[in-house]
Amino acid sequence: MRGKPAPKRAVEGDAKYNDVSIAKFINYVMERGKKSAAEKIVYGAF
């Protein structure tokens, strides 16, 4: 028997600017769960 599908989670704002679009972009850049490395890349571009 299958379980229920996982509910969609709302993306919270990023730590620095509290902006959802930046948080989504960081998640898009992230590879293999390395969020801090993705944050360095994104924040270094600003």
pTM of the model: 0.79
What burial class does residue 43 get, using C-beta atoms within 10 Å of its C-beta: 0-12 exposed, 13-18 middle, 19+ buried? Answer: middle
> What pLDDT score does 9 carry?
93
Domain range summary for the chain, segments of one domain joined by +: 17-46
Is residue 17's pLDDT more than 90?
yes
Query: What H or E segment, with its residue span, contains residue 29?
Result: helix 20-29
